[in-house]
Structure 1
Amino acid sequence: MKIVIIGGVAGGASAAARTRRLDDTAEIVLIERGGFPSFANCGMPYYVGGVIQSRDKLLVAPVQMLRERHRLDVRTRSEVTSIDREAQTIQVRQLESGESYFESYDKLIIATGASPITPPLPGIDNQRVLRLRNLDDADAMHRIATADAKRAIIIGGGFIGVEVAENLVHRGIQTTLIERGTQLLGPWDPEMVVPIEQAFKEKGIELLYKTSVTGFQPCESGVSVQIENQPSREADFVVLCIGVTPENKLAKEAGLDCGQRGGVIVNAHMQTTDPNIYAVGDVVEVHDIIGDCPTQIPLAGPANRQGRIAADHALGRPSQFRGVQGTSVVGAFGVSAAMTGWSEKLLQRNNVDYEKIYIHPANHAGYYPGAEGMTLKLLFSTSNGRIFGAQGVGGNGVDKRIDVISMAIQANLTVEDLEESELCYAPQFGSAKDPVNMLGFVASDVMRGDQPVTHVDRLLDGTPDGTFLLDVRSVPEFQRGHLPGAVNIPIEELRERLSEVPQDQQIVAYCQVGIRGYLATRVLMQNGYNVANLSGGYKLWQRYGIEPAV
């Protein structure tokens, strides 16, 4: 069996190593356009920022290791220029010599990845306009960032943009981030990324939203960024982080089917429309298990698994890729944001009926020193408790909770199953009622009708006439700020002051984070009131940047 793999990094290198472990006699050829077939591309921003000081740390499996330990035929600085499906050969061009040759295969695995989106803007080829795809890019950015650079402009506020911004600040570089949208981290819902945006501002990063770049020009300091309807901005260098697109040229020219977004179409075994050709990683279109639809999600974890599955199936094993749900995490300046499944924006866009809840727990027992707060959001169906997605933002422990919910989604568990999730507990690690359990408690209460909820965004759309806003916090809390028009009756006094709450109006009860609002909701419901708890409480209200009434 001769298996040829085009491209390394997560998908290709995993496929090569897995093939060798399964078949020690197979001929395995790994062809990589760059100089490093297996490197940690997710670590590159941290090398630029000096968090990872040694570039060698990014080399997951150096070429020599792949050749000697795994007996792989690794060919770097080589580019595959065409695929002949009928002859089962590829044409390879050696980049240093320019010479070309043909290589045969029994099975071919395409792992060409995705390339940074480069819009056709004037001056985009300026040497000071950088991307961050491979180690050569990282080396170039590292050289400039450590050569007395004073100012940088990042275009794009996604994963890479956020990570690069944090690391340039570590270098002491004044940083501006330009984003065409209205928030950082577009896949998240806007209220969930506010803490990261606040951290950026505290670190002096200038955030320009709803801003489009129209071109680049050389200037004395380095490069001038031309901005639509605004004065230009000068910087020592610019970093383009506006997304990636599947590098599908080889596949398309070979006649393999591609999806609307350009990803190579594969089945559950990672086979393309040619059964002898597989494709893995960022170049493929994947199956979204939440919406049961095709999507494009460039993440390293799925790419690794796809590489293994392609190798398995090429060697006769019935492995299948179950699909993706977009589980991801990003961090900056001590704030983490994680998510899994669909966001509220995506549910709305696809007209899915859903409900949501928010909680604000600590990462471990509050009485144990060092507890850090977080906000968790759960999206689910009230008809059957299916979990559509979850998002978290805060300090330590956010990733842990989203990982648990990710596994719950994969196992087709419901919000009621979250109530009974048995998770490890000691005061320094968690709470007896873990935040995951708390999400299950609240969501299940909503499903059962024990705790009707309403939301800040619904109130902002306009409080219906006859709605009575009831603030059940303490008097000092209320005096520091409250919802406009709210009446303050502390939860400790509510039972004795029920006569002050109108029975002919819709009541919206709220507190700081939701717990006292829930207690008030239960008291009022059992006394015949039509009441809903404001999920996430006053803390979430503040996330929306609304001036409080005082």
Structure 2
Amino acid sequence: MRIIIIGGVAAGTSVAAKLRRNDEKCEIIIYEKGQFISYSTCGMPYLIGRDEISAQDLVPRDPKWFAKRFQIDIKTGHEVISLSAESRSIEVKNLDKGATFTDHYDELVLATGSQAVIPPIKGIDQEHVFTVKTMEDTLSLEKYLEKTTVSNALVIGAGFIGLEIFENLIKRGISTRLVEAKTSLMPLIDDDMSPWIEDYCVKNKLQYALGELVERIEKTRVSTKSGNIYPADLVIIAAGVKAETSLALSAGIALGKSGAIQIDEKMNTSIKHIKAVGDCAEVWSVSTGNPMFRPMGSTANKMGRIAGDSLSGGDLAFRGVLGTGIVKFFDLYIGLTGLTHFESEKTGMDVEIIHNIKENQSKYLPESREMIIKALADRKTGKLLGVQIIGEKGVDKRLDVFVTAMTFGATVDDLFHLDLSYAPPLSSTKDPVMYTGMILSNAIYRNRKIVTPEQLLGHESEYQIIDVRSSKDFERGSIEGAENIPLAKLRENLHRLEKNRPTITHCNKGVSGNTAQNLLLNSRFNEVYNISGGYKNYKIFKTYRG
């Protein structure tokens, strides 16, 4: 059997390696347009900013290695320019020699990846404008930086790659500004979480601009639709990616709702004998079953392994993804998995939303750091639907626990019962994961209602707001119209409060606010809410969204 794979980065080489492990007799050929194979796309921004990382670190394998170990024939510098599903043939162009030839397959795998989204900006084709999508892109940028003195850089796009390249240009000593067309940093997360990233940028004097659409790039500056002009003698385009589907479209292969190639659990496309894997293929949500486009190296490798197994008669099947992602942004870690609030609204689900601010370890240790966790759960089933976390320590550990729990259909009550590891340098006795489950469970099943800062802002006068922090904390800042009754004095002041008026209690982060909420509800107050994430979350949200 002759199997041809188009594309030799993460997914394509994963297909080939798994296939060979299962089958010694089949003939495996990979055609790759570029000169590099099996490289770390996600590691490319760090090549720009870290001296200890070399290109060789990101490209650990070459065609000779695959030929020697697996007897796989990889042809780099070969672009597949057409595909005929009817004759099971492809036309290939040797980019070095310019010659074209035809090849035939028994089975074909499309691993064509994704391509950078290039916004319609005047002057975008100049020599000081780069993308960081392929290894060739990154090496071109590195070469440019080595021979050119750059005073000011500008990064267009504040997603994963945008944040990473922004950080690494600054670490290289270049004054850099981040510009995002949308109104929040890291647009994949909810808008009420972005202010925590914005606050980090302000405190660390990092330059960024939101809601700015770049219209023109000149030699030493860029101009935006709003009329702002920013200095820039280097511009990085990090405006996202889209599935590379030109070959699939030419062959009549069906695309999904996301614009990527539609596949089934065995990676089969709509045409027999053709599979698709990696960034060119559409995946689906574990939470909803709905199609989605979420290009990730980890997912690409998984899909490649499944396709290779399927081609050799195995029973591996793709189960979908939660859409997990994480990025390091200086000392901050930003992670998400499952549904965002925006996505949950489109499903029509009735969701509970909470924010939980907790330390990554016992807070009496000076090295401890807070993280904020936003979690969504289905009020009907109690199942956890989505989580977003921002913090300086312990984010990846908690995110992966949530991912595991959600993958196996955990409910909010299940989170509290997890037997998680504990030692003061590593966690708290009630880990932030457990506490998240407790807050959600109380809100869904025990009438401990939560109001988010987004829901409260602009409606403060509709509530009786009781601030149970100390008088000193209250004097440093408070919600307009709130009455300060420290928690220790709340019982003796209950007679002064209106039991039939909607009431909000709050402290700084939520724990004492919940204690006050319990006291009021047990004293027959009709409707009592606790502010999600406390005054700290409210203040951050109001500062950047008020």
TM range (shorter): over 0.9
The Cα of 1:98 is off from its aligned counterpart by: 0.7
Q: Does 1:501 align with 2:497?
A: yes
Tell me whether 286-295 or 263-272 shows the greater mean CA deviation.
Answer: 286-295
Per the alignment, residue 270 of structure 1 pairs with: 267
Whether the aligned pair in 1 keeps the contact of 2:116 and 2:242 (CA below 8 Å) is yes
Q: Does 1:45 align with 2:45?
A: yes
SS in 1 for 2:389: strand
* 1:112-143 Cα distance to aligned partner (Å, 9 max, x none): 00100123433221121111111111112112
TM-score (norm 1): 0.95
Q: In the aligned structure 1, how far is the partner of 2:23 from the partner of 2:16?
A: 11
SS in 1 for 2:216: strand
Per the alignment, residue 100 of structure 1 pairs with: 100
Per the alignment, residue 487 of structure 1 pairs with: 483
Question: How do 1:314-333 residues align onto structure 2 when only pairs under 5 Å count?
Answer: 314-333=311-330
Question: How do 1:32-431 residues align onto structure 2 when only pairs under 5 Å count?
Answer: 32-50=32-50, 52-146=52-146, 147-217=148-218, 219=219, 221=220, 224-431=221-428
Q: In the aligned structure 1, how far is the partner of 2:437 from the partner of 2:357?
A: 14
Tell me whether 81-90 or 170-179 shows the greater mean CA deviation.
Answer: 81-90
Per the alignment, residue 28 of structure 2 pairs with: 28
Whether the aligned pair in 2 keeps the contact of 1:450 and 1:522 (CA below 8 Å) is no
Q: CA 1:478–1:233 in 2, change beyond 3 Å: closer, same or farther?
A: closer
SS in 1 for 2:443: helix
Q: CA 1:78–1:52 in 2, change beyond 3 Å: closer, same or farther?
A: farther
Q: In the aligned structure 2, how far is the partner of 1:213 from the partner of 1:546?
A: 25
The Cα of 1:51 is off from its aligned counterpart by: 5.3
Q: In the aligned structure 1, how far is the partner of 2:257 from the partner of 2:64?
A: 39
Q: In the aligned structure 1, how far is the partner of 2:52 from the partner of 2:241?
A: 24
Of all paired residues, the percent bearing the same amino acid is 34
Tell me whether 520-529 or 114-123 shows the greater mean CA deviation.
Answer: 114-123
Unmatched tracts of structure 2, length 5 or more? none
Q: In the aligned structure 2, how far is the partner of 1:212 from the partner of 1:546?
A: 23
Q: CA 1:518–1:373 in 2, change beyond 3 Å: closer, same or farther?
A: same
Tell me whether 39-48 or 281-290 shows the greater mean CA deviation.
Answer: 281-290
The Cα of 1:274 is off from its aligned counterpart by: 1.6
Per the alignment, residue 7 of structure 1 pairs with: 7
Whether the aligned pair in 2 keeps the contact of 1:78 and 1:95 (CA below 8 Å) is yes
Q: In the aligned structure 1, how far is the partner of 2:309 from the partner of 2:52?
A: 34
Q: In the aligned structure 2, how far is the partner of 1:543 from the partner of 1:229?
A: 26
Whether the aligned pair in 2 keeps the contact of 1:174 and 1:204 (CA below 8 Å) is no
Whether the aligned pair in 2 keeps the contact of 1:193 and 1:337 (CA below 8 Å) is no
Report the count of equivalent residues. Answer: 542
Q: CA 1:493–1:202 in 2, change beyond 3 Å: closer, same or farther?
A: closer
The Cα of 1:205 is off from its aligned counterpart by: 3.2
Equivalent position to 1:444, from 441, 465, 486: 441
Q: What amino acid is the match of 1:477? A: D
Q: What amino acid is the match of 2:216? A: G
The Cα of 1:503 is off from its aligned counterpart by: 1.7
- RMSD (Å) for aligned C-alpha atoms: 1.6
SS in 1 for 2:327: strand
Q: CA 1:543–1:187 in 2, change beyond 3 Å: closer, same or farther?
A: same
Whether the aligned pair in 1 keeps the contact of 2:350 and 2:380 (CA below 8 Å) is no
Unmatched tracts of structure 1, length 5 or more? none
SS in 2 for 1:424: coil
Q: In the aligned structure 2, how far is the partner of 1:60 from the partner of 1:325?
A: 29
Whether the aligned pair in 1 keeps the contact of 2:114 and 2:280 (CA below 8 Å) is yes
The Cα of 1:19 is off from its aligned counterpart by: 1.0
Q: CA 1:30–1:150 in 2, change beyond 3 Å: closer, same or farther?
A: same
Whether the aligned pair in 1 keeps the contact of 2:461 and 2:481 (CA below 8 Å) is no
The Cα of 1:507 is off from its aligned counterpart by: 1.4
Q: What amino acid is the match of 2:401? A: V
Q: In the aligned structure 1, how far is the partner of 2:79 from the partner of 2:534?
A: 56
Q: In the aligned structure 1, how far is the partner of 2:125 from the partner of 2:522?
A: 68
Q: In the aligned structure 1, how far is the partner of 2:98 from the partner of 2:27?
A: 25
Q: In the aligned structure 1, how far is the partner of 2:363 from the partner of 2:228?
A: 49
Q: In the aligned structure 1, how far is the partner of 2:417 from the partner of 2:228?
A: 57
Tell me whether 388-397 or 58-67 shows the greater mean CA deviation.
Answer: 58-67
Q: In the aligned structure 2, how far is the partner of 1:231 from the partner of 1:357?
A: 37
Whether the aligned pair in 2 keeps the contact of 1:145 and 1:171 (CA below 8 Å) is no
